[in-house]
Structure 1
Amino acid sequence: MPQTIRAAVTRAFGQPMRVETVTLADPGPGEVLVAVKACAICHSDITYADGGWGGTVPMVLGHEAAGIVEATGPGVMRVKPGDPVVVTLIRSCGGCHYCAGGHDYLCETMFDLDRTSPLTDGTGAPIGHGLRTGAFAEKLVVEQSQLVAVGGNMPFASASLLACGAITGVGAVTNTAKMPAGADAVVIGCGGVGLNAVQGARIAGAASII
């Protein structure tokens, strides 16, 4: 049965979010219900909420989350109820042209969650599934490819940072720059992404990191 949960809803760009009671649909085929235990705030959420990327309101933002799997829809194989997981905005089918080429983040498949948000308000009107996640909420529903199970000893606040800041910073070094071992790296700015770029450079074998 659909659940009523609390979520921070963006009703107008540039205005404060409002905590509201909303309805979250059950997970469909290939989808997973997660109880959110921690959610970081990414600059992308702020830019979106301020109207920098356009789009349609109302919506529930938040895409850098960690929590516990509460239920799974038919066909879910990657996780099971009770698993601690990291939740990310990257949704991929694994079989399209881009996924087959190792570029899952460019997946061109249209999922059910792309067509219909699992969130509705008290009147039954749809609320946008912001950044494909809607994690500024007590619970969320996402496609199973958006989840990675993590060790039970990792604090949820730390695990949530892996969903965006860590993969962005490390990926900038290993995937975008393709920095070879023995190279020198310069990182300008050491916020969440910058610190992970430093870590990525260290992992990649940088001779020096400035």
Structure 2
Amino acid sequence: MKAVAVYPGKPNSVHLEDIPKPSLSDVKDGKGVLVKVLKVGVDATDREINDALYGNAPSGFNYLVLGHESFGVVEAVGPNVRRVKPGDYVTATVRRPGGSIYDMIGTNDMTSEETYYERGINLRHGYLTEYFVDEEEYIVRVPQGLKHLHVLMEPMSCAAKAVHQAYECQRRLKVWRPQRAFVMGVGQIGILATLILKLRGLDVYAFARSKHGTLNSQIIEGLEAKYVSTSETSVEEVVKQVGKADLILDATGNSAIAFDSMRHLGHNGVLVWASITGGQKSTEVPSDKINIEWVLGNKLLVGSVNANRHHFEMGINDLAMGEMLYPGVLQRILTNPVEGLDNYQEMIRLLVEEKSALKVYMNIAAE
């Protein structure tokens, strides 16, 4: 069967690979699930792997199958599978366990090991193919009423984890009732985090460079949050008007903004970094001022990466609530479909050239 793959370490090596169709027997104990892939979302991670910035092939292979944002339908299950059945729509988690205690208890996203295993990213093949088999533990059922949001399940899980981590950390305060949140960046993660924070009852300000009227700004406003164009209004001006934030989530992929956000966090607040910045860029920060304000203000910085099954389920629940409160808004994120695995070059072109492409995804098969 066909798969879109790269040769890790070799720039611009994306290609079609012919791989064997998987079997339920590939999973032990009768707990395998065979999934027909319908759609796969792609993002900057896939582009950067094709640029050879990171990513490694599984042991015994010279290629890595791309794709970590899966959506498909169950075709067959092993005799000991209980959570899903043939005909169910599903997605699948990304991180797979290593050997740390965190991996052993199902929190693979919190591994303490330097080596990590992620389908479509590092040391495990991804979902950009026609079928895949995985253990029942890593398969998450998607309600039929949300199938039109398909590939948003994985990015939503990352946003759900990032917000959940903030609340988990703030248990240190015994009583924490955040009122105001700043979301830095309005890509897919920023938009989905905005939804989650709105559902938690916060007053949300979403910041981005683009002026009002862009699709991203329209979606933010459709979620009844406040869109702020930093080319028109600075973060400092917003802080003067409404005060500092209780919670800030950075999803910009810009280290300067990530560090600058520290200046805008209120007492007992938490700043979550949910985006990754590569390269060697340096930025200057008012370190003395930040240091004293953070110590005296009991402020917290936490990093959040990936998600486990619990976060996928949390995210799906919030998507369902978002669809009821803001019908039709979230589907607008899905901007750029690509038809078929053979059109992998168009997929890469969109990721590289189309700056307005909010969400690129590949239609692999019909239902």
Q: State the Cα RMSD in Å.
A: 2.9
Distance 1:15 1:208, change over 3 A: closer
- The alignment of Structure 1 onto Structure 2 pairs a total of residues equal to 184
Q: Which residue of 1 aligns with 2:235?
A: none
Does 1:18 find its partner at 2:15? yes
Return the match for 1:192 from 188, 191, 201. Answer: 188
Alpha-carbon contact 2:97-2:106 (below 8 Å) kept: no
> Residues of 1 paired with 2:134 and 2:152: CA distance?
18
Which runs of 5 or more structure 2 residues have no equivalent in the other structure?
171-175, 207-367
Q: 1:52-98 CA distances to partner (integer Å, 9 max, x unpaired)?
A: 224234110101011111122343222122111112214469xx843
| Identity percentage of aligned residues | 27
2:202 corresponds to which letter in structure 1? A
Question: Which stretches in structure 1 are left out of the alignment for 5+ residues?
Answer: 109-113, 115-127
Structure 1 residue 174: Cα displacement: 2.1
Q: Which aligned pairs between 1:67-86 and structure 2 lie closer than 5 A?
A: 67-86=72-91
Q: Which structure has the highest helix share of the two?
A: 2
Superposition map of 1:1-210 within 5 A: 5-11=1-7, 13-27=10-24, 28-29=27-28, 30-56=31-57, 57-91=62-96, 97-98=101-102, 103-106=107-110, 130-131=120-121, 132=124, 134-155=126-147, 158-163=149-154, 165-176=155-166, 178=168, 180-210=176-206
TM-score normalised over the length of structure 2: 0.44
Give the secondary-structure state (helix, strand or coil) at the position aligned to 2:201: coil
SS at structure 1 position matched to 2:184:
coil
Q: CA deviation at 1:49?
A: 2.6
Partner deviation per Cα, 1:112-146 (whole Å, 9 max, x = no partner): xx7xxxxxxxxxxxxx9634452111111222222
TM-score, with structure 1 as normaliser: 0.73
Q: 1:67 to 1:135 in 2, by over 3 A?
A: same
In 2, Cα distance between equivalents of 1:78 and 1:146:
11
Q: Which has the higher contact order (CA 8 A, sep 6+)?
A: 1
CA, structure 1 residues 46+176, in 2 after alignment: closer, same or farther (shift >3 Å)? farther
Higher Cα radius of gyration: 2
Is the deviation greater in 40-49 or in 129-138? 129-138
Seen in structure 2, the aligned counterparts of structure 1 residues 6 and 161 have a Cα distance that, compared at 3 Å, is same
